Every structure is written in C-alpha cells, then in structure tokens.
Amino acid sequence: MNNDNNSVILKVDNLHACIQGKEILKGINLTVKRGEIHAIMGLNGSGKSTFAKILAGHPDYQVTQGNIQYEKQDLLELSSEERAQAGIFLAFQYPIEIPGVANSQFLRLAYNTVQTQRGKEELDPLEFDDFVREKMKLLEMKPDFLDRSVNEGFSGGEKKRNEILQMALLEPRLGILDETDSGLDIDALKIVARGVNHLSNQDNAMILITHYQRLLDHIVPDYVHVMEAGRIIKTGGKELALELETHGYDWVHNDLQHTAGASS
Amino acid sequence: MSAVLQNLVNQPYKHGFVTDIESEIAPKGLNEETIRLISAKKNEPEWLLEFRLKAYRQWLAMTEPHWQNVKYPKIDFQEISYYAAPKPKKKLASMDEVDPELLRTFEKLGVPMHERAALAGVAVDVIFDSVSVTTTYKEKLAEVGIIFCSISEAVQHHPELVKQYLGTVVPVGDNFFAALNSAVFTDGSFCYIPKGVKCPMDLSTYFRINTQESGQFERTLIIAEEGASVSYLEGCTAPQFDTNQLHAAVVELVALDDADIKYSTVQNWYAGDENGVGGIYNFVTKRGLAKGVNSRISWTQVETGSAITWKYPSCILRGDNSVGEFYSVAVTNHHQQADTGTKMIHIGKNTRSTIISKGISAGKSNSSYRGLVRITPTAENARNFSQCDSMLVGDQCGAHTFPYIQVKNNSAKVEHEASTSKIGEDQLFYFAQRGIDSEEAVSMIVNGFCKEVFQQLPMEFAVEATKLLSFKLENSVG
C-alpha cells in the first residue's frame, strides 16, 4: 500500500449533513487511498447509505459542515454528473427502473458520456454491443437483458448485477457499493463479488457498505469501519468484521465505553 | 427521403415570402356578403358558393361547444377578418434584428443557417435548391397521374373531384368549427391518387405549387382510389408563428377499396410565452373515411405547439375489413392545454382499430386524452385495442383520460389500457450518477415513452420529432 499523499483518492473531513433539516451525518472522517477496499458496517439508520448518496451528490441532502477532497478537487463543488464523470460510481441499494429506455441504450449513453469526458473515443452501437457483451460474460448475464428496459421487471439479483456491469463499463476511480449484497442469494453474491474483485486494482478504490460479514468473505477489505448515529465509531482491519459477526454491534459499544473509560 | 428533401421539410415559410397577389382585406365580421366575396375572389363555381352558404346558415344556428377540458377567453367571431390577401411577413434587414429567443430555438433544432434567416423573416434573397427539386417532384407525380395541388387550384382544374368528395367525410354542419371552416375556408391541399397507384414518395405540404398561405381556415382533401396508397406529411418541427390566433382547419380523407392513407402531422405552432400569453388556438376537425373493403386510414400526430390543441383525428370504418389507426404524442409545457384523441367508428364487418396515445405534461400544463370507440350493430367481429399513457414531468401539471366506449354488437372485442407515470427525482439522480445530465435524461425517458408512436413516422420526421420533444421539455425539470 502506498503511503504518500498522491495515493489519496478521497479525504472526508468532519462531514456533517442533513435532509429536510434533520442531521444524519455528524462528523465523518475517512481517508481512502488507491488500491484500498474499505467496508463500512453498521445498523440500519446509522447513516451509511446517506454517506454514500452524499459522495455521489444526491440533491436531497445538504452538507452543513466539513469538506470532501476527491482527487485533489473539492468534491462538494461538483454536480452529481460531474462526479460520475470524474470517476465516482455508486452502485445503488435500490437500482431505479426506467421504463421505455432500453438497457443497451442507457449503458451506451453513460459509457460514451464518461469516455468523452476522459478524452477518449466514443463507441458506435455495434462496437459498443461487442464491448458490453464481453463484460456481461463476467457477470453471467443473458443477452436479452440488453433489450429490456433499464431495471424494469428485473429480479433483485439482476438489478444488482446490472449495477456491477455499469461499474465495469465506467471503470470508476472510486466505486461505492451500497448494500449490493442485500437480497442476493449465495450464487449471485459470488458472481457479484467476482465482478468487484475483477475490477478492483492498484489505481482505484472501493467502499463497500454492508450489514453483514458474508460479502466480506468474498471481497476482502483492507479496513472495516463501524458507523453509528452519523459517525464512524471504530475502525479496524478485516478481523473487525468477524468480531462484529460474532459479538454483534453492542459489543462495539461496550468496547468503546471501556476504552473511553480507560483513556479519561 | 434524401437529405435534400429533408431540408425542404424544414422550410415552412417558403410560401410565406411570396408577396403581392392581392391586397384586399374584407371588413371584419362574418355575413353572407363576406362569403360571397370570398367565393367571388376565388372565382368559384356556384355549387361551392352554395356549399359555403349552407355551412354558414348551419353555423349561425350552432353554439360554440364547451365540453372540452380547456379554458380560453371567449372568441368574438365578428372581430375576425375572414378574407385577406396573404400578408407578406415583415422583413428584417439583418439577423441582428431577429429575436434572440428564436435564434436559440433554431440552434437547438439544428435548422440550417440559410433557413434560419428565411424562417425569421430576414430579407435575404435565398435561392433554395428546392425549386428544381420541386419541379422534378411534380413531374414524377404527374407521370403516375397523381394530382397534388392547392384546393383552390383543384376547384378550378378538377371541380368534379372536389364536388364529389368535399364535405362527404366532415359534413358542413358537423360541428361548430367545421361549419365555420366550410363557410370561409380560403385554401389548403388537395391530393388525388388514382386507381392502383402507390405514391412513389411521401407527400409533404411544402411541395405544393401554390405559394399562398393557407391561413387560419385551412381545408385539406385527400382521396385514394381503389388499391392506391399514399403517405402524407403535414407540418414541420421548426416553430411556426402566426398573427391569427384561431386556427380551425378541416381535413378529410377518403380511402376506397384496398386503399391506404397514412397521414402524419408534426405540429409546432407558437405556444405562447412561459406565462401563457399569446399562442395559437388549434381547433381542428380531421376525419378519414375508410369507405372501401380492406381500406386503411392511419393517423400519426406529434403535437407539441399551440396554446390550445383541440382535435380528434378519427376514422369511420365503413368498408368490411377496413383498418383505422391513431398514434399520438401530445406534449404540453408551461401553460399549454391539449385535449386530443380520436374516434373509431366501426360500421363494416371485421373492422379493426388501434389507438396508441402518449401524453406528456410538464410545467403548469394540462393534457387530456379523449377518445371514442363505437361499435355499431352492423360491425360483426370488430376489434379495438387502445392504449393511453400519460407522463408527468414535475408536480404542477395534469394528465386526464376520457375514454368512451360504445358497443352495440356482441361479437366485438374492445380492449383499453391506461397508465400514468412520472419522471422522478430518483430517475434523474440515477442518470446523473452515470454521468448523464438531466436534459439528456428527460429526453431519453420521454423518447422511450413515445417510441411506439415515433416508429410510425417517416424516419427523418421521427428524428426531428425526437429533437423537438427534447427541446420542448428543456428546463422543465430540476
């Protein structure tokens, strides 16, 4: 792992954010470097998904304090589409259905938009078709999937695979997977995990948001963070996830109280 | 269509620049004298004057309908001048004088530079390639015996055809606005496809010889003889401005045995400004008579303009095995109102009809689908399928569906499907997260929504319609 500053992709500093006046994030600090995989775990309502959406620039949330540096830019200055073009990718917890728009058409527009931003060549429909079919093999997807409307009538597993396929097409710098494992059976989980591992390399970074250890059996994180009430309350290595699995989230509390008591 | 022909489709105001002819304007108001004046000026035969007067007398006894789901101030029919020689557009000295908003529109629609000047009314002597193209075009049509001219010309040169068919599909007293049109129409198109002839190209209004403006009471008559077929295009995507607020056209189609008429419209009349001020009232009666056995009438419309659109292109399926189709996209934004749909009247045996209607409302606009499917007692084994989908963009607009179904024959099979959807913030965020901005996202969603209708349009028209829709909905979200 690199330790020099050039390797930092994302630096979140004391991030506070709210939705409709309600504060959800209460001071998040997180640094992510190239080549790293971070897992963020925590109970429902701890702010994990909010954090993911804020990184992606969801318009419903307001950042009230703190800042986010992404690849030496002020991320909060960028619109959500600019962030995507700059390499931030969010795999949605609940991928959105877009009736009437063929998946192939949607994927190609997304791909070409991002390619153009990166100063690369666009692909015409035929070239793109070859390209996307190659990527689909990785995720064991059926070809008819390209002709169907985006996510419409897809099973939970198909929707999640579609997210990972999009990630494979857009080759993000920072991939954020928001509970991609939820609603997947074990076979689908393995396929998705294989896709993510395939995409993960020394130049990019991943943030996995999850409730459960089981995803981390297949994608091994470098760091595990535990989130509660809008803060990261504990950070550790991959073994932290196993301890959580064994002892539950209350264990972190007790452990923290213990540490806090000792240090004061 | 070649690129050249496509360019021609983009030149709606070509005829608007032909000046002169006559400069007389009839005094405002409508009475028998005005009608006699119109008829005399146009050198019409006696029977046509009688046609007009009959319509006028019926109109006098009629009241303006108010059942439609649109609102507008009362029209004073005595304040309208019913006969005026075509007015030349006010000419501007240079492009600098053109309304920047208009230029922006041309930019967005990709109207070629030389056409922009013409459309905007700048006094440039542009020589269009179209002159020679038009000539070739007309020669080609004449070779196969197709008559395609203005209705005034047809009255002079083919009076027997006009007399035989005019008012047979839309009778003079059909409705308030049709009666008014029948009394005072000044011009329009006439098209006759002889027996067994398949028209070798799409016919577009821009190829008419006559350079007069059709004015606010346009009259169109299309006849396809036995085994003939034709595809007719009306309108264009470039925005059309007019000083006349009320437009009440009548279109009649007649298809004989085994004949096929496909009528496509892209309507982009001035819709008024963002606050709903100004804009055209487009109150049109369009009806096709599938008179012969195995005949087919197909309407495709993309309605994007006008402050108020009020029309129901309809099919009377009289011939056995005849087919009626209606494919419609109606887009409203800002304060626009649209009440549009169709009527499918099944009379013959084994008649079939299809209705696909897509309404898109944005801003503070309102869009209604209103349709009638009537299966008369004689229509054995009639079939209808209707699908009416509405899409809302934002939360201040409205979409309404008024389907009327009257079945008087037990063997009929009538299906109706309807849906309403909304372009949501979540969808736009999903697109944004994939690098796609909201304008492109809306355009993609809307075009996906309208796909079944656009597929019915001639290809170049479909491409333009797609662009036009995106343009119309610009800034309607976010």
- Note the pLDDT tens digit of each residue in B245-304: 788 899 999 999 999 999 998 888 877 777 777 788 888 999 999 999 999 999 999 998
Read off the tokens for A178.
């928001």
**Taking the domain A5-263, which CATH number applies?**
3.40.50.300
Q: Is the pLDDT of residue B18 over 60?
A: no
Q: Which of B52-66, B169-183, B197-211, B307-321 has the lowest mean pLDDT?
A: B197-211
pLDDT of residue B421: 87
Give the closest-approach CA distance of B453 to chain A in angstroms. 12
**pTM as predicted:** 0.79
- Exposed, middle or buried, A72 (CB in 10 Å: 0-12/13-18/19+)? exposed
Q: Do A79 and B432 touch (CB under 8 A)?
A: yes
Neighbours of B78 (CB within 10 A): 9
d(CA A168, CA A113): 15
Domain ranges of chain A: 5-263
Q: Which residues pair with A39 in a beta bridge?
A: A208, A224
Give the confidence band of B205 by pLDDT, cuts at 50, 70, 90: low
Nearest CB partner across the interface for B427, out of A60, A81, A98: A98
Neighbours of A85 (CB within 10 A): 22
Q: Do B451 and A56 touch (CB under 8 A)?
A: no
Interface predicted TM-score (ipTM) of this complex, two decimals: 0.93
Give the closest-approach CA distance of A142 to chain B in angstroms. 22
Q: What average pLDDT does range B449-471 have in this prediction?
A: 81
Q: Which residue has the higher pLDDT, B288 or B150?
A: B288
* B384 φ, ψ (degrees, to nearest 5): -140, 140
Q: Which residues of A touch B (CB under 8 A)?
A: 56-60, 79-81, 83-85, 89-90, 92, 95-96, 98-102, 105-106, 109-110, 113-114, 117, 149, 166, 170
- Report helix angle A125-138 to A156-170, nearest 10: 120
Neighbours of A113 (CB within 10 A): 21
Distance of alpha carbon B199 from the chain centroid: 20
d(CA B336, CA A153): 34
d(CA B329, CA B359): 6
Report how far apart the first and last C-alpha atoms of chain A are (Å, whole number): 34
Give the confidence band of B238 by pLDDT, cuts at 50, 70, 90: low
Residues of B in contact with A149 (CB under 8 A): 448
Residues 6+ apart with CB under 8 A from B347: B316, B317, B318, B376, B378, B379
Residues 6+ apart with CB under 8 A from B421: A99, B389, B390, B391, B392, B449
Q: Which of A78, A101, A120, A164 to mutate: most B Cβ within 10 Å?
A: A101
Give the confidence band of A44 by pLDDT, cuts at 50, 70, 90: confident
| A118 → chain B, closest CA residue | B435
Q: How many residue pairs bridge chain A and chain B with CB atoms within 8 Å of each other?
A: 72
Residue B241 backbone zone (phi > 0: left; psi -120 to 50: alpha; other: beta): beta
Helix, strand, or coil (residue B401) = strand
Give the closest-approach CA distance of A53 to chain B in angstroms. 10
Q: Which of B420, B429, B466 to mutate: most A Cβ within 10 Å?
A: B429
| B420 → chain A, closest CA residue | A99
Q: Which of A240-244, B65-69, B87-91, B352-356 has the lowest mean pLDDT?
A: B87-91
* A257 φ, ψ (degrees, to nearest 5): -55, -40
Residue among B276, B302, B446, B300 at smallest CA distance from B360: B446
pLDDT of residue B208: 39
Strand B147-150 and strand B189-193: the pairing is antiparallel
| Whether B208 contacts B149, CB under 8 Å | yes
| Whether A138 contacts A195, CB under 8 Å | yes
Q: What average pLDDT does range A253-263 have in this prediction?
A: 61
